[in-house]
Amino acid sequence: MTQQPVETVHALAYGAYPARCLQVVCEIGVADRIDDEPVPVGKLAAACGADPGTLTRILRLLASFDVFEERDGGFAHTVASRVLRDDHPMSARPLIRLTGLPMHLDSLTLLQHTVLTGEPALDKLQPGGIWAYLTEHPDQAEIFNRAMTSKAAADVPAVVGAYDFTPFGVIADIGGGRGHLLRAVLDAVPGAEGVLFDQPSVIEALTFPDHPRLALRPGDFFDTVPAADAFILMHVLHNWGDEQVARILATVRKSAAPGATLLVIENVLPDVHPTPAAVTMDVIMLALTPGRERTESELSALFDGAGFRFTGMTETSGTMRIAEAKAV
């Protein structure tokens, strides 16, 4: 049957409840207590330190969305609930825990402030913005970092599988964090050398063994970046407003010879008919940062202003899209 208009808006109005249930079961680790067979809710509750009756009601709601299944006197996994386990190779638990942090929930509560003022809601909680907030809340910062690592585990194979990096001799990952993407690219392209560029504190904190073709370079992408044949900006530009993005791109252009390639990898919105997931992420960025998820046309205009020419968009098997531009 066709959903009635009032049912559509009711579903949106109450959508926070299933989301919060999902966050809670991830926080207390329910999925890790279920293997291949249904587990009685009493046993689950005891393992998680929860009230059995309450946990039953929460899991029944999630089961109505095919996340867990109630059967044989207990709850069992579905394909969707398995990705909530910590040991799943594509575990979504860190990202879901992130959405349940106070910085997300409180910013959502303050979204009307953002609509009326244009200011990120998080700035009302922490005048210094998201990075200052995470510095002041190291427990939440730890979950944030785990979530970003988890997201990289999903995004990196999709990016490496979608784009041909073989033409480039030197590839610089600007704001590349712990280097998950760049290391995967270098493994896929044996002839390339890589430069991982990020803030000194990020570079100094790296603890894993060096890659034989990877150089580490600390710095500030508002000041200068190392030269390369290709520059990667993954999950970077969407954190910043247009003025800051223009500065970042101008900095990259100074180090890019004519013909050098710029790859912006993020949730680039199509100019028409973006998906609900894509525009939801845009509103999340609105609440937490001065940045945004940009459309193809908006990115192209920023490229033009910085001395790059937009040359195409590459789709990946995941949510990321790869916007390619050339230095002119």
Taking every pair of Cα atoms in the chain, the longest distance, rounded to a whole number of angstroms, is 66
Looking at the chain, how many residues does it have? 328
Q: Decide if 238 is catalytic.
A: yes
Q: Which two tokens stand for residue 309?
A: 């020419």
Instruction: Return the H-helix or E-strand segment holding 62.
Output: helix 52-63
Instruction: Return the H-helix or E-strand segment holding 216.
Output: strand 214-218
Question: Which residue in the list 77, 104, 238, 273 is annotated as catalytic?
Answer: 238
Rounded to whole angstroms, the Cα distance separating 178 from 17 reads 34
Q: Strand 69-71 to strand 74-76: parallel, antiparallel, or no bridges (unpaired)?
A: antiparallel
Q: Helix (H, G, I), strand (E, B), or coil: what is residue 253? A: helix
Q: Strand 193-198 to strand 170-174: parallel, antiparallel, or no bridges (unpaired)?
A: parallel
Q: Which two tokens stand for residue 199?
A: 């803030």
Judge whether 74 and 35 are in contact, CB under 8 Å.
no
Q: Which two tokens stand for residue 197?
A: 């560029």
Q: Is 113 exposed, middle or buried (0-12, 13-18, 19+ CB in 10 A)?
A: middle
For residue 124, CA distances in Å to 18, 106, 138, 286 come to 27, 10, 19, 13
Question: The tokens 């609900």 sit on which residue?
Answer: 276
Rounded to whole angstroms, the Cα distance separating 83 from 68 reads 11
Enumerate the active-site residues: 238
